[in-house]
Chain A
Amino acid sequence: NAGVTQTPKFQVLKTGQSMTLQCAQDMNHNSMYWYRQDPGMGLRLIYYSASEGTTDKGEVPNGYNVSRLNKREFSLRLESAAPSQTSVYFCASSDDGVMNTEAFFGQGTRLTVV
């Protein structure tokens, strides 16, 4: 049981390049999330998906797009990377949230934009 799997673990991009971060969960969770974590700060929500086929903006969506490909997979795309997007990105999932929105996290992607 792998839980939440993110790829890649590390990435260096040049300003203006694009890339997609992949996330998959095998816990049959309905909800999935993308967060970014910057040094000394908590987590900030970029986008979330409450169910397959739906996505919504979080606190810091600018510069990102997402796709909920199916129930298992939720990808995050940077169309034109900027140095301000240097961060650690975490994908998470939770069950249907009626009673318990405990989130389970992937291992993170450390992204550097130069």
Chain B
Amino acid sequence: ELKVEQNPLFLSMQEGKNYTIYCNYSTTSDRLYWYRQDPGKSLESLFVLLSNGAVKQEGRLMASLDTKARLSTLHITAAVHDLSATYFCAVDVNYQLIWGAGTKLIIKP
């Protein structure tokens, strides 16, 4: 069974702290995507990771992909309140996206 598991599912943290969200998947894939969703809003693409070892950074967020370990990480550096959202990873399997359940991130001022 194809599975994409995100950990943790819920994270509450203080501003200024660092943390990592993990996305594990159960089948071979070398394409993975990270999205952000604000409450009541649509999904916004954050990162596109298309090969083993891919690393992308945007502001305080950095995403990486290890296809051998079937693992992607989304690292948050010195968190700020504006990063509060739900973050989803999605894995491309035969040109279809399989989605994780999402990580709800709350950053307290």
Contacts and interface: CB of A to CB of B under 8 A. Distances in A.
Name B's interface SS: strand
Q: Most chain-A Cβ atoms within 10 A of its Cβ — which of B43, B44, B88, B100?
A: B43
Name A's interface SS: loop
6 contacts: A40-B101, A42-B4, A42-B88, A45-B97, A106-B42, A107-B41
Q: Which of under 10, 10 to 19, 20 to 34, or 35 or more describes the interface residues of A? A: 20 to 34
Interface string A36-50: 000011111100101
Closest 5 CB pairs of A and B: A42-B99, A97-B95, A43-B99, A42-B101, A105-B43
Given A99-B50, A100-B48, A42 B102 contact: yes
A26 to B, nearest CB: 16
Interface of A: 31, 40-45, 48, 50, 58, 90, 97, 99-108
